[in-house]
């Protein structure tokens, strides 16, 4: 279930450098996390020693000291007048922090490995990090001797925490006469940074007994890996001119690096964004990195989204990065519990000890080339010590049970909504056809749809989609959700059309850039419009703003006269009407249905270029909401009840495990209510109560929920409960009691293997005769009982 657990830690807990001091701290570390590591095949420790400058400076003098991350705040501050924060004025984490030399470090690594073997009974891998930025430790190499390499992340250099540039992997070093481990006679002028880093890493790892390298904060994945702008997007336009040189520079870094250290396993942090944004704004050839760099782990989920309440960015970004993975590799989930530099602990302060950033990402799954779910087999914790070097037992004690519970119910089938992701096609659209705007639009539209409550948990690349169909995979239990960019791949479009003819449910979003798709959607080209206008959705007439640059182009199609397509929503300016959402459901499709939503990205780019700024929902309707509002077309309802339009929507997703539907949710505003319905009926979550209103189950979930649902009812009104009861009988596994039924139809999703061994009885109603049970297929096996009133007990 869990292949590897990685505990990330700084040197702060190891201020007593005696053998006894090292041993005591190591023992505390491994005993705290033993309840989790006992479930893992292997254990790792990632040492955040400094920022990797100890690797750059290493010259094989084991008694040489190095700067390490011994401060709280920015180690390379960019002071601002009147700013007394730790961004400008860092301080030592303790009085008189010890000096560290390379010999001390080697002794610590040996102590970690021996203690792990003694306590956990498993060998330990120890990793080192290289971080390109200025945050974690003083670096004379980067900011005094070789500032020429610090040209990366220009969009964030104005922020107080950063202040200075990041190392850009494609830069070259100026000549340097100092001796280094890999360059004992100094650095020749013009040496590629990748070659220098690779040779230093090889020497450093061999001498100190490290096992893997972590490349941090976007290093190796572009020039501006934090901002929304980059080498191919400057806020005003997308430009292909720099693309070839950028891609060549990125790949040159990886080649030079791997030429020098071909065998060291690599783990990567990646960017804060999505694959589509990486491609379109910074020209990142992620496909080539994955396929050409040996022994590379793909980036995990970014911590940036949860810190900024942008869970759509975290989830969409992670899914887009794991749509494809290097051959033979799994992928990593990373959980942010302590920040060892910035004087806060997300678990205690940001999340208030609520596990939403476990429930939501650990509901995510990818589909492989056979159409099988693949869940994260590796898990890492940044970090297990806090900013003061404390190893607080409270955090592992509280976090570990939540993690184990998530893994026990991890997805074993595709979820109700599967993101069909054009991983290869996005690269080709941008790099071969210069359609950067479409690639940019698609990922950020989904990001905001997720933030507005669209329940997405499963991703399959177009390549794996085609392969899985050849291996007999079926997508009949789900709604396929795809950007219109898939139409650029003729084979994918043909398969989608074939599936529709067999009854599939498809939700497309985005501009219509391909003639074949234009014809298929029964649309026609017309003059493009953008700017402020209205969107008409049924009887509603709402103000919207469509920015062509950020939304894949202007609005330039409308439904043909005499079309069989039904208009669900339109953009309207005066007499001009453009398609916003249409439905196509042809009789020959055997119940198949296609919904197309044109989509608008409802944000501007911040002045700094660092991030996006959503439009004010008090003033404008956000068309990304249509993705959730259209779900009744597929038999699902997800509605939110608010007092004010600017209230934040819950973030939710649905996953399948053992034939049950599980809902993970985060409510930033717990006064926002929720109304739900599924094809099986209104969900009555296990150990919960719901008021039914017009057939919809109503809930007001807490800050973080992770609920199972096996019971669904078709009933107009009433209070319905589903309570877990003790089995109290031989050979029974579980028992549920459903109360409050009034002439209801009940649908129950049995555990696999119990389809014919589930017992239904009326509570306290002896003599009413046996219950008639019909087995149906509603996106999986369902047991149906009709005309029920009162209470029913379900046991298996």
Average pLDDT over residues 500-524: 96
Q: Is residue 486 part of a domain?
A: yes
Q: Is residue 146 part of a domain?
A: yes
pLDDT at site 416? 98
pLDDT at site 162? 56
Q: Where are the beta strands (DSSP E) in 450-591?
A: 458-461, 479-483, 505-509, 523-529, 531-537, 540-546, 555-559, 566-573, 576-584
Question: In the numeric block, which tokens belong to residue 595?
Answer: 């919904």
pLDDT digits (tens, 9 = 90+) for 575-593: 999 999 999 999 999 999 9
Average pLDDT over residues 670-678: 98
Average pLDDT over residues 155-166: 65
Which runs of consecutive H residues, i.e. helices, occur in 502-565?
515-520
This prediction has a pTM of: 0.97
pLDDT at 766 over 50: no
Is the distance from CB of 595 to CB of 630 less than 8 angstroms? yes
Q: Is 566 found in the same domain as 530?
A: yes
Q: Is 168 found in the same domain as 60?
A: yes
pLDDT at 159 over 80: no
| pLDDT above 90: percentage of residues in the chain | 92
Q: Is residue 228 part of a domain?
A: no
pLDDT at site 226? 87
Q: Is 97 found in the same domain as 7?
A: yes
Question: In the numeric block, which tokens belong to residue 645?
Answer: 């339009």
Q: SS3 of 348, please?
A: helix
Q: SS3 of 248, please?
A: helix
pLDDT at site 767? 41
Q: Which residues of 628-666 are buried (b: 16+ CB within 10 A; e: fewer)?
A: bbbbebbbbbbbbeeeeeeebbbbbbbbbbbbbbbbbbb
pLDDT at site 32? 98
pLDDT at site 769? 58
Q: Is 364 found in the same domain as 464?
A: no
Q: Is 614 found in the same domain as 584?
A: yes
Among the candidates 408, 433, 452, a domain finishes at 408
pLDDT digits (tens, 9 = 90+) for 276-310: 999 999 999 999 999 999 999 999 999 998 889 99
Q: Is residue 519 part of a domain?
A: yes
Average pLDDT over residues 726-740: 94
Q: Is residue 213 part of a domain?
A: yes
DSSP state of 145: I
Question: In the numeric block, which tokens belong to residue 373?
Answer: 């779910």
Q: Is 717 found in the same domain as 679?
A: yes
pLDDT digits (tens, 9 = 90+) for 434-487: 999 999 999 999 999 999 999 999 999 999 999 999 999 999 999 999 999 999
Q: Is 424 found in the same domain as 403?
A: no
Query: Residue 85 belongs to a domain with what CATH number?
Result: 3.20.20
Q: Is 608 found in the same domain as 678?
A: no
pLDDT at site 790? 96
Q: Is 149 found in the same domain as 49?
A: yes
Among the candidates 408, 435, 461, a domain finishes at 408
Q: Is 496 found in the same domain as 382?
A: no
The mean predicted confidence, pLDDT, of the chain is 95
Q: Is residue 643 part of a domain?
A: no
pLDDT at site 768? 56
pLDDT at 65 over 70: yes
Average pLDDT over residues 33-47: 97
For residue 160, name the pLDDT band (cuts at 50, 70, 90): very low
Average pLDDT over residues 626-643: 98
Q: Is residue 556 part of a domain?
A: yes
Distance between CA atoms of residues 725 and 737, nearest Å = 7
Among the candidates 408, 442, 464, a domain finishes at 408
pLDDT digits (tens, 9 = 90+) for 310-352: 999 999 999 999 999 999 999 999 999 999 999 999 999 999 9
Is the distance from CB of 190 to CB of 172 less than 8 angstroms? yes
Average pLDDT over residues 76-89: 79
Q: Is 575 found in the same domain as 612?
A: yes
pLDDT digits (tens, 9 = 90+) for 353-402: 999 999 999 999 999 999 999 999 999 999 999 999 999 999 999 999 99
Distance between CA atoms of residues 744 and 419, nearest Å = 34
Average pLDDT over residues 530-539: 97
**∠ CA 220-223-224 to the nearest 5 degrees?**
115
Closest CA to 668 of 642, 649, 684, 653: 649
Q: Is residue 457 part of a domain?
A: yes
Query: Residue 608 belongs to a domain with what CATH number?
Result: 3.40.50
Instruction: Give the number of domains in the chain.
Output: 3
Domain limits at 331? 2-222+254-278+294-408
Average pLDDT over residues 715-720: 98
pLDDT at site 164? 75
Q: Is 717 found in the same domain as 686?
A: yes
pLDDT at site 650? 98
For residue 155, name the pLDDT band (cuts at 50, 70, 90): confident
């Amino acid at each position: 279930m869990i292949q590897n657990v990685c505990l990330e830690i700084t040197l702060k807990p190891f201020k007593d450098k005696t053998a006894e001091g090292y041993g005591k701290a190591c023992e505390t570390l491994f005993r705290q996390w033993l309840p989790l590591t006992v479930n893992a095949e292997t254990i790792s420790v990632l040492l955040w020693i400094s920022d990797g400058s100890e690797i750059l400076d290493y010259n094989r003098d084991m008694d040489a000291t190095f700067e390490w991350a011994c401060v709280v705040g920015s180690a390379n501050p960019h002071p601002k007048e009147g700013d007394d924060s730790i961004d400008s004025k860092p301080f030592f984490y303790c009085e008189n922090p010890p000096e560290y030399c390379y010999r001390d470090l080697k002794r610590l690594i040996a102590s970690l490995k021996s203690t792990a073997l003694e306590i956990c009974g498993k060998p330990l891998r120890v990793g080192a990090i290289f971080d390109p930025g200025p945050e974690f430790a003083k670096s004379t190499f980067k900011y005094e001797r070789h500032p020429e390499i610090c040209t990366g992340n220009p969009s964030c250099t104005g922020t107080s925490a950063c202040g200075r540039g990041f190392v850009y992997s494609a830069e070259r070093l100026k000549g340097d006469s100092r001796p280094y481990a890999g360059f004992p006679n100094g650095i020749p002028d013009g040496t590629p940074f990748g070659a220098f880093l690779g040779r230093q890493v090889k020497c450093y790892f061999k001498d100190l007994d490290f096992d893997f390298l972590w490349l941090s904060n976007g290093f190796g994945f572009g020039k501006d890996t934090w901002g929304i702008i980059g080498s191919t997007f400057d806020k005003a336009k997308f430009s292909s001119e720099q693309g070839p040189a950028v891609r060549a520079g990125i790949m040159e870094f990886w080649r030079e690096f791997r030429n020098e250290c071909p065998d060291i396993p690599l783990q990567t942090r990646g960017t804060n964004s999505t694959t589509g944004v990486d491609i379109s704004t910074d020209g990142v050839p992620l496909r080539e990195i994955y396929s050409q760099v040996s022994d590379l782990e793909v980036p995990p989920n970014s911590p940036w989204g949860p810190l900024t309440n942008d869970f759509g960015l975290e989830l969409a970004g992670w899914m887009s990065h794991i749509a494809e993975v290097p051959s033979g590799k799994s992928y990593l989930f990373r959980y942010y519990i302590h920040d060892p530099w910035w004087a806060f602990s997300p678990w205690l302060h940001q999340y208030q000890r609520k596990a939403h950033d476990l429930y939501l990402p650990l509901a995510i799954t990818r589909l492989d080339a056979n159409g099988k779910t693949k869940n994260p087999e590796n898990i890492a914790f940044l970090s297990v010590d806090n900013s003061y070097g404390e190893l607080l037992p409270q955090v592992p004690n509280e976090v570990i049970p939540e993690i184990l519970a998530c893994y026990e119910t991890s997805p074993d089938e595709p979820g109700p909504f599967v993101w069909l992701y054009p991983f290869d096609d996005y690269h080709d659209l941008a790099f071969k056809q210069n359609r950067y705007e479409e690639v940019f639009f698609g990922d950020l539209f989904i990001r905001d749809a997720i933030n507005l409550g669209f329940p997405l948990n499963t991703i399959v690349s177009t390549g794996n989609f085609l392969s899985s169909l050849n291996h007999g995979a079926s997508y009949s239990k789900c709604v396929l959700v795809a950007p219109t960019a898939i139409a650029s791949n003729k084979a994918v479009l043909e398969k989608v059309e074939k599936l529709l003819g067999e009854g599939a449910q498809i939700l497309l979003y985005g501009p219509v850039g391909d003639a074949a798709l234009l014809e298929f959607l029964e649309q026609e080209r017309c003059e493009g419009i953008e700017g402020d206008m209205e969107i008409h959705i049924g009887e509603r007439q709402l103000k919207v703003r469509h920015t062509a640059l950020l939304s894949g182009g202007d609005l330039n199609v409308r439904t043909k006269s005499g079309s069989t397509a039904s208009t669900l929503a339109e953009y309207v300016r005066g007499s001009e009407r453009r398609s916003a959402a249409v439905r196509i459901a042809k009789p020959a499709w055997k119940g198949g249905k296609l919904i197309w939503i044109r989509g608008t990205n409802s944000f501007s780019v911040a002045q700094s270029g660092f991030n996006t700024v959503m439009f004010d929902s008090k003033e404008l309707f956000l068309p990304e909401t249509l993705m959730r509002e259209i779900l009744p077309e597929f038999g699902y309802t997800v509605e939110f009840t608010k007092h004010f339009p600017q209230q934040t929507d819950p973030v939710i997703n649905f996953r399948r495990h053992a034939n049950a539907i599980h809902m993970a949710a985060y409510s930033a505003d717990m006064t926002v209510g929720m109304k739900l319905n599924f094809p099986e009926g209104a969900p009555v979550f296990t150990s919960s109560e719901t008021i039914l209103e017009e057939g919809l189950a109503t809930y007001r979930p807490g800050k973080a929920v992770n609920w199972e649902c096996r019971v669904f009812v078709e009933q107009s009104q009433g209070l319905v409960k589903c309570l877990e009861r003790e089995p109290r009988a031989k050979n029974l596994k579980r028992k549920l009691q459903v109360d409050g039924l009034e002439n209801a139809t009940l649908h129950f999703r049995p555990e696999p293997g119990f389809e014919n061994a589930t017992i239904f009885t009326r509570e306290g109603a002896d003599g009413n005769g046996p219950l008639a049970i019909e087995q149906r297929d509603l996106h999986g096996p369902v047991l149906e009982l009709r005309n029920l009133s009162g209470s029913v007990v379900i046991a298996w």
